[in-house]
């Protein structure tokens, strides 16, 4: 029996705006399955985004949703969680929105270890706003603002999140759809800041410029470059050259969660 996604879609919001072959729809379906698995109450679940193709995702879902300013998803989500710690808070967005314009908010949300799940779709580019290069555009690749090749080194989003203090960090790709919801489930169940990086594809503004002949080629690339953590442990540095790790990359269940710490501060202030 086919999974019923329609029950989770807000009436009248389809068809979506994503280009044919875009991986964001795969991620959205994974998020829907994960929310169902966790039995989240839609009236007690806030899904927050900034601006961009990936940030349109919450608008399609039947939950409490916020479509906010460019790069400010983590800041708005932090505000929601501080005001209503009992709510489930999920952020959605792209690499440009989350780690360039919103980079400051991203690292500080990780540092605080506030209890939310951030699903960050990394498709190597600013898709909606014109195909500009992002901090995740591979060095040497083409974008509308780097027509002779991107000279910048890239951000490794998962390593950035671990270094900033997030306590659950996982990575998968749009070519591994069943792994997406499994990792999001673990992120939702984790008490603290959970980052789920999904390496995605953008066939229109990234793929065409960088000579991918089709979406299939882009998906084959993702499968070829992704290496599960357990498999990587048996490989040499030479074998891992040009690859990226997938699965749960980091987990810390000991670090205190921010809203609980803040509640203690309020109690102390009230007793002073």
Contact between 26 and 123 (Cβ < 8 Å): no
Is the confidence at residue 272, as pLDDT, over 90?
Answer: no
Beta bridge partners, 48, equal 66, 91
What pTM was estimated for this model as a whole? 0.96
Task: Tell me what the mean pLDDT of segment 256-271 comes to.
Answer: 96
Q: What angle do CA 196, 198, 203 make, to 5 degrees?
A: 160
CA 32 to CA 19: how far, in whole Å? 20
Tell me: the pLDDT tens digits for 26-41?
Answer: 999 999 999 999 999 9
Tell me: the pLDDT tens digits for 129-181?
Answer: 999 999 999 999 999 999 999 999 999 999 999 999 999 999 999 999 999 99
Tell me: the pLDDT tens digits for 191-216?
Answer: 999 999 999 999 999 999 999 999 99
pLDDT at 31: 98
Residue 148 CB coordination number (10 Å): 7
CA 131 to CA 144: how far, in whole Å? 5
Tell me: the pLDDT tens digits for 66-107?
Answer: 999 999 999 999 999 999 999 999 999 999 999 999 999 999
Which token pair is 19?
A: 């280009």
């Amino acid at each position: 029996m086919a999974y019923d996604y329609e029950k989770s879609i807000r009436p009248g919001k389809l068809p979506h705006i994503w280009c044919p072959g875009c991986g964001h729809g795969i991620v959205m379906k994974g998020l829907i399955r994960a929310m169902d698995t966790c039995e989240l109450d839609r009236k007690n679940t806030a899904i927050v985004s900034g601006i961009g193709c990936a940030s349109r995702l919450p608008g399609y879902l039947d939950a409490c949703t916020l479509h906010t300013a460019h790069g400010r998803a983590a800041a708005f989500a932090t505000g929601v969680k501080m005001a209503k710690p009992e709510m489930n808070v999920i952020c959605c967005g792209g690499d440009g929105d989350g780690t360039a314009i919103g980079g400051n908010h991203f690292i500080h949300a990780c540092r605080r270890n506030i209890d939310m799940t951030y699903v960050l779709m990394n498709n190597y580019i600013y898709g909606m706003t014109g195909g500009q290069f992002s901090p995740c555009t591979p060095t040497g690749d083409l974008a509308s603002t780097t027509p002779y090749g991107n000279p910048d080194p890239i951000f490794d989003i998962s390593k950035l999140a671990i270094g900033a203090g997030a306590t659950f960090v996982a990575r998968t790709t749009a070519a591994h759809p069943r792994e997406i919801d499994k990792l999001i489930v673990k992120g939702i169940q984790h008490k603290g800041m959970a980052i789920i990086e999904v390496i995605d594809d953008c066939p229109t503004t990234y793929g065409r410029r960088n000579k991918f002949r089709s979406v299939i080629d882009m998906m084959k690339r993702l499968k070829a470059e992704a290496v599960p953590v357990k498999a990587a442990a048996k490989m040499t540095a030479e074998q891992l050259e040009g690859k990226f790790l997938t699965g749960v990359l980091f987990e810390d269940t000991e670090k205190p969660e921010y809203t609980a710490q803040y509640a203690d501060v309020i109690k102390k202030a009230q007793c002073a």
